[in-house]
Amino acid sequence: MRVDVQAPADLRVAAEQTALMRAVIALLDNAVRYSPDGASVQLTATPTGRRAEIRVADHGPGLGDMDPERVFERFARSTASTERRGFGLGLALVRDIANRFGGSVEVERTSPTGTTFLLTLPRA
């Protein structure tokens, strides 16, 4: 598995470093978990006005018939893949962190060829 990262070195967000790392790691863990062997995951961070947009994109099976808002609930699990194990807490943690620092997280895109999550946080 390869993670491709594109982010300006000087981009700063108004969030605690530990919390930001937990959120990004949870998004990456989710993307890696649902990506097929040999696929890559993309992490991009871009400044957009007074906010920073962090996208994590995978090439997994998508959310299937699951409501994109529901993936952020505790213990929620996609039915798209029954082979993967987890507790269904990672994306709920990301939403909690985003909300705590005045940001948001959403499913920006999902299809049978992958999913992109968008984490938006205020810039420092």
Per CATH, the number for 2-122 is 3.30.565.10
Burial code (b: 16+ CB inside 10 Å, e: under 16) for 44-58 equals ebeeeeebbbbbbbb
pLDDT of residue 123: 97
Task: Indicate the pTM of the whole model.
Answer: 0.89
Going residue by residue through the chain (124 aa), what tens digit of pLDDT does each one get? Answer: 899 999 999 999 999 999 999 999 999 999 998 899 999 999 999 999 999 999 999 999 998 888 888 888 876 665 554 455 555 678 999 999 999 999 999 999 999 999 999 999 999 9
Domain boundaries, the chain: 2-122
**Residue 58 has what pLDDT?**
97
For position 61, what pLDDT does the model report? 92
Tokens of 62: 């998508």
Question: CA of 56: how far to CAs of 66, 111, 113, in Å?
Answer: 19, 14, 14
